Chain A
Amino acid sequence: MEARPINDVSYEKYLKEEKLMGSKCRGCGVRFLPPRPICTECHKPEMDWEVVEGKGKLVSFTCIAVGPPSMKEEGFDRNNPYCLGIVEVDPGMRVVARIQGVDARNPETIQIGMPLCAKFLQRGEGETARAVLAFEPA
């Protein structure tokens, strides 16, 4: 695999390429998502990129009715809230992500523990193009 620096810029570049990438410690083998540049378990600095399978379960969530201006631009508001969640892809490996394919207007119907799979939302164009990590019911 190419030697991209282990940082958030590379992580986001991978997301744009629709790849979910974490890091793995060469010393103790612990994996991190998003990638960490230094192992917070054994404190060794040697890390490698690690492909993460985009399957997980919902740990917790919220449905936001008053978001920042960027979400308003995407069409979300009081009448059209968006769901965000914390998703566990492996024990101890979690990410925050948009949750799609659930009824954010009826949050009582969203179940903690539900199985999810990853998708990548391409946003913006040219210089500002980026991908937002999302999950939807598997």
Chain B
Amino acid sequence: MEKRRRLGRGVAVVGSGMSKFGMFKDRDSKDLFVEAYRETLSSVDKGMDPQDIDALYLGNFTNDFFIRQGHWGPLISDVIGLVPKPATRTEGACASSALAIREGVFAIASGFYDIVLVGGVEEMSKRSTEEVAEGLALGSTPYEGKIGFTFPGVFGATASAYFAKYGANREHLMNVTIKSHNNAPLNPKGQYKATIRDLMQAKQEKAREKGLDVPEWADEKAFLGDSSANPEVAWPLHLFDCCPISDGASCLILVAEEVARSFTDDPLYIIGLGQGSGKGLHAKADLTCFEATQYAAKEAYGMAGIEPKDVQIAEVHDCFSIAEIVHLEDLGFSKPGEGYKMVEEGRTRLDGDKPINTSGGLKCKGHPVGATGVSQVHEIWKQLRQEAGPRQVPIKDLRIGATHNLGGTGGTCTLTILERR
């Protein structure tokens, strides 16, 4: 029997922060989290005593593998002075911190806690690209990992299937990359700050300085189509179709709706939560969609009592360019097979009717996997509260935003819907 999901009591976000995302050889998980935590505390309009926090839920995926240290809940709880209060780590591959949000919401909605800190952290850049590929592949199924599948490989196979089914091609993927990079310079927290055009000019400048032949490209797509500038990673995906390897942390303060106004006059309410699980590549009847996202979306829209068209702005899990296109379809923002057209028509740009990944997305903001889910909510927090500065979307009466997080090969997908009232 289908049941509309609801919370026992309302839950609101009253604080949000994130560290800078990037590759930081001289930083670690603890100090990245502290950076996010400090910003989070100072973002609470009316202030908050950290001693009032009841518990921590923390998303982390691969620190065990990358830096040979596990059990991150109490480590982070200790560094911010929360011990002996409970700390729980959540793991859902690249959707780990979206699960932390859910657990935090459930803990408050049940009446058990009033104030909960949720966050995520990941430290990835101290390993080689090959080792990172191997570590992330821990989130795929054993059948995939054992024959040499990487995450770019999984999404490469998704793209090949999508191209064959719908007639899209590499140029349609480039539209996603160009759009993400256009948002990049507007996000000071992001890993990449350059547009594709900036990168083209930088390459030309470098060649000129070295006295080499200066490469010429007719436009951004010519640059992205040049395999010396944009080498293949996992066909048909190339370097600029893939998000980078990143370090970073993110944090939110969730409170019971009845106490939200004592922290801010402008809280965001969690009105929709959805989570689905999915099968490995071999068991998917259709390689061009994610069953787990579709399930999560149905659950979250049902709980919120809204339709996809009511979501005014969204952060979606663009670990790869093809992923963003597929998510647009699975989340109901476009019909199946038409997500690439929505991007081509400019509808997902900052000034489009459905801005997607205004933060620059995983592609440009960076993807410290365990921190991503919470950092997506941070972008919606900024946008809905009209605090996004130069990347503030020009939508009138901006009220409803959503975040979509995907883990593994689609094994864990979530949709979280937030409302400003």
Contacts and interface: CB of A to CB of B under 8 A. Distances in A.
Nearest to B129: A66
- Chain B interface size band reads 35 or more
A66 B157 contact: no
Interface string B123-140: 000000111011001000
B295 to A, nearest CB: 15
B233 A65 contact: yes
Interface string A31-57: 001100000000000000000000000
A101 interface: no
B236 interface: yes
B161 interface: yes
Nearest to A85: B157
A96 B161 CA distance: 14
B337 to A, nearest CB: 16
Interface residues of A, number: 35
B231 interface: yes
A27 interface: no
Contact of A69 (B134, B154, B232, B283): B134
A68 B133 CA distance: 6
B287 A86 contact: yes
Contact of A96 (B144, B231, B232, B235): B144
Contacts of B160: 60-62, 112
A77 B205 CA distance: 30
Contacts of A70: 134, 148
B283 A67 contact: no
A67 B148 contact: yes
A64 B150 CA distance: 8
Contact of B130 (A34, A68, A82, A130): A68
A63 B131 CA distance: 18
A117 interface: no
B280 interface: yes
Interface of A: 8, 33-34, 59-72, 76, 78, 81-82, 84-86, 92, 94-98, 107, 112, 130, 132-133
27 contacts: A8-B142, A34-B143, A59-B287, A60-B160, A61-B157, A62-B154, A62-B234, A64-B152, A65-B235, A66-B133, A66-B234, A67-B153, A68-B137, A70-B134, A76-B148, A78-B232, A81-B232, A86-B161, A86-B281, A86-B282, A92-B285, A94-B282, A95-B143, A96-B149, A96-B282, A112-B164, A132-B147
